[in-house]
């Protein structure tokens, strides 16, 4: 399942739900209809949206309450003539405190090493940039309501 967050609303779409009407079977017809309706709703919301930020995090683990951010990438999009165009990018690596481990599994998955992070800015410094970049702009991201938003919120509240 893919979860897209748009204007703080989770939109769930299961793989294979979006298909041509002709290929929809009795089993998938309800899913097709639900997905089609969701796509139409998203399109209407996007048409009314002047800006949008799409972002993703890399973290030290899989628990949103205890994981620490090691990388954030975000793109701010502006709508002109019903098309979104890239306006700005934000890319930050976050230096981890010495007492926070960087698991081998995370290094293998992300390719980000502790040595690479040592030269980067602190979480507090990076979060200032993130808050300035995001401001009041609607955000979207993959799995963001279940993980990324929670990790960001936890980091923000702990500073």
What are the DSSP E strand ranges found in 37-82?
A: 51-59, 69-80
At 55 the three-state DSSP class reads: strand
Same domain, 132 and 80: yes
Same domain, 39 and 56: no
Single pTM value for the model: 0.74
Largest Cα separation within the chain, whole Å, is 57
Number of domains in the chain: 2
Give residue 56's pLDDT. 94
Do 149 and 130 meet the contact criterion of CB atoms below 8 Å apart? no
Same domain, 146 and 69: yes
Q: Which of 14-18, 116-120, 134-138 has the highest mean pLDDT?
A: 116-120
Same domain, 29 and 100: no
Q: Which residues pair with 71 in a beta bridge?
A: 58, 93
pLDDT digits (tens, 9 = 90+) for 19-62: 333 443 444 444 444 556 677 777 787 788 899 999 999 999 99
The residue whose two tokens read 């796509």 is 39
Same domain, 75 and 96: yes
Same domain, 85 and 147: yes
Same domain, 37 and 110: no
Closest CA to 9 of 38, 48, 29: 38
Enclosing domain of residue 32? 2-47
Task: Report whether pLDDT(149) > 80.
Answer: yes
Same domain, 129 and 82: yes
The residue whose two tokens read 């940039």 is 129
CATH number at residue 59: 3.30.420.10
CB atoms within 10 A of CB 36: 15
Same domain, 32 and 71: no
Same domain, 88 and 17: no
Same domain, 39 and 85: no
Same domain, 82 and 143: yes
Give residue 18's pLDDT. 37
Do 78 and 88 meet the contact criterion of CB atoms below 8 Å apart? no
Give residue 140's pLDDT. 82
């Amino acid at each position: 399942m893919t979860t897209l967050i748009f204007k703080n609303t989770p939109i769930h779409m299961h793989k294979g739900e979006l298909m041509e009407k002709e290929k929809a079977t009795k089993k998938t017809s309800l899913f097709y209809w639900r997905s089609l309706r969701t796509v139409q709703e998203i399109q209407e919301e996007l048409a009314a949206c002047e800006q949008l930020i799409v972002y993703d995090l890399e973290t030290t683990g899989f628990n949103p309450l205890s994981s620490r951010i090691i990388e954030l990438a975000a793109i701010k999009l502006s709508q002109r003539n019903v098309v979104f165009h890239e306006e700005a990018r934000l890319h930050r690596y976050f230096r981890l405190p010495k007492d926070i481990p960087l698991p081998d599994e995370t290094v293998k998955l992300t390719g980000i090493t502790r040595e690479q992070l040592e030269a980067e800015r602190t979480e507090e410094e990076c979060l200032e940039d993130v808050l300035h970049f995001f401001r009041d702009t609607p955000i979207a991201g993959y799995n963001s309501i279940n993980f990324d938003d929670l990790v960001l919120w936890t980091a923000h509240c702990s500073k």
